[in-house]
Every structure is written in structure tokens, then in C-alpha cells.
Copies of this chain bind each other. A is one copy, B any other.
């Protein structure tokens, strides 16, 4: 039995509060269990130098934790004067993941800045960030469409992320809280689309290894978790979710044609 009495394939309670902040084009407060992240999407009317003049946009992400999001207070990265390797890894992951389900040609020469600020951490902060950031990005795109900044809906599939781990006693378990994560031998983060394809797989055995069969079990759990997370995103987005479905359908037809 898991420490919080969940079943092996059970997610923690999820809530997604949209339009949480006043200023950003898109914003949510997402909670998965005790992990809470403010995700915002901000539009800037220019792109990084390597993209200038190509008529296409970019998505870049930043991730941070409040110093006391965690059990022990962490020194701020601004005070330390540099961003940690862990933070860089996470923000690169979030950016890459979101770029996989959007047609960057359709947003013009704009950068979408995704900011994921963890205000409370209890495991799965990077996967929660991706899941929340997808919703914030969708809200920002809806706003951009409404005010004419963009002409065509650019997001062509849902995107969510979840962690799966292997507990030395319980075997594979879905959506680890911090205490479970600390015990797990293997930790896998899976980012998937609504169509059920992988965007990112990051599995690591810290001082441990895992077999092909264990991998297959992990992936099956991830698949189940992602489906449920996308259901929650759909509920939070309401009518905007239809835009994603339509774009997905259109893309499918085009690729079949």
C-alpha cells in the first residue's frame, strides 16, 4: 500500500485554476496533490537572434521555486548568482515539450515566455509544470487569436506529463509524491500528447538499473496517467479545448492526404 493509500496507478487530486493572475496573457494555478505551480504564458513581439527574419515564433521556459516551497529553505538562485544545473535541465525540458505540439509558423515572430514558479513542492514539480504550462499557453493563444495578434489556432494536440517510479517494495507506481520519489530506485518522467505519442522520455536509475520489462510496465502506467491529466486540462479549458481537437483533426487529415 502506498503511503497516502493510493493505488499504484492512481494520480493525486488535481485542480487547475485558470486566469489566476491579472497581467499575463495566460495563467493558471495548478495543484497536483500538494505540489502547486503558478504557470504563466507571456507574449513578446520578438524572437531570439537565431530565428530573426524567418517569420516564425519561439517558446522558451523558465522554472523556479520559491525558497520555502520545500521542507528546508533553499537559497534563491538570484542570491547565489547563478541558475543550477537542475533548473536549467527542467526549463529546457518544458520549452522543448511545448514546442512539440505547436505550429511555430502560426504565431509569427513572437516569443512565448512560459514561467513556472513552484510555490509548494511535493514531488513531480517538472511534470506538473508542463501540464499546467500547456493550459497557460492555450489561454494565451486564445487571447492572441481574439485580439488579432495571430490569425490561426496554432496548437494541434494536448500535452501533459507525469512521473512514474519503481519502488523497491511496491514496484512501479504512478505520480510520485516527494517521499515516494526519495525512496524510488528508478524515476521516469514521461511527456505525451493527446494522440498517445511520446514527446520526452527521461528515465534514470540513480545507483540502480531497470530492465526492459520494467520499462514496459512504467510506460503503461504513464499512458494511463497522461490520459487522465489531459481530461483535466480539457475541463479547465472548456470551449478552448475544441480548438485543439479541431487542429488535431485537421493535421491528421493533412498527414493522411
**A: which residues have CB within 8 A of B?**
21-24, 27, 34, 38, 40, 42, 44, 62, 64, 66-71, 73, 76-89, 91-92, 96, 99-100, 104, 113, 115, 117, 119-120, 122, 188, 193, 195-212, 215, 219
Contacts and interface: CB of A to CB of B under 8 A. Distances in A.
Contacts of A69: 21, 23
Given A62-B76, A81-B81, A198-B203, 19 more contacts: A22-B122, A23-B71, A42-B67, A62-B79, A64-B78, A66-B117, A78-B82, A79-B83, A81-B82, A82-B82, A85-B89, A86-B92, A88-B89, A99-B207, A195-B209, A196-B211, A198-B212, A200-B205, A202-B202
A84 to B, nearest CB: 8
Closest 7 CB pairs of A and B: A85-B88, A77-B78, A197-B209, A201-B203, A78-B78, A24-B68, A42-B73
Contacts of A117: 66, 119
A40 B76 CA distance: 14
Contacts of A21: 68-69, 119-120
A242 B42 CA distance: 45
A207 B50 CA distance: 16
Contact of A85 (B44, B92, B197, B215): B92
Contacts of A89: 85, 88-89, 92
A121 to B, nearest CB: 8
A83 B219 CA distance: 33
Contact of A197 (B27, B78, B196, B211): B211
10 contacts: A21-B69, A42-B73, A68-B115, A73-B115, A85-B89, A100-B208, A119-B119, A198-B209, A198-B212, A200-B203
A195 to B, nearest CB: 7
Contacts of A38: 66, 119
